[in-house]
Amino acid sequence: ETGVTQSPTHLIKTRGQQVTLRCSSQSGHNTVSWYQQALGQGPQFIFQYYREEENGRGNFPPRFSGLQFPNYSSELNVNALELDDSALYLCASGVSRQNTEAFFGQGTRLTVV
């Protein structure tokens, strides 16, 4: 067990709606990254937060946004949901910005209908 927890575990939304996913990082970790994993694929990097600021972003549109809070918990927000947003969303926390090792939560399975 990594100590990274995500909520909810499953979610069904309608196209065009907005969704907020939550992550609680492992104690002592100050970076959090979000990944999208489509069925049968490896995870794709969305963005990383360090000390409450975005510290890198993958090839995802602006309707994907995030927040990191002082207690190192984090949110991923997705606006104007599309069918292709259906995926497993993974949160990963790290010890520091320099340390590459990422420890993943169990993920949130989002289905857009």
Q: How far is the CB of 90 from other proteins (least distance, A)?
A: 5
- Cα torsion angle, 24, 101, 34, 40, sign: negative
Q: How far is the CB of 16 from other proteins (least distance, A)?
A: 28
Cβ-based nearer residue to other proteins, 7 or 41: 41
CB atoms within 10 A of CB 74: 25
Cβ-based nearer residue to other proteins, 1 or 84: 1
Cβ-based nearer residue to other proteins, 55 or 73: 55
Contact 103, 92 (CB under 8 A): yes
Strand partners, 45: 35
Binding site for other proteins (CB under 8 A): 2, 4, 31, 33, 35, 40-45, 48, 55-56, 58-59, 90, 92, 94, 97-107
Phi, psi of 29 (to 5 degrees): -95, 135
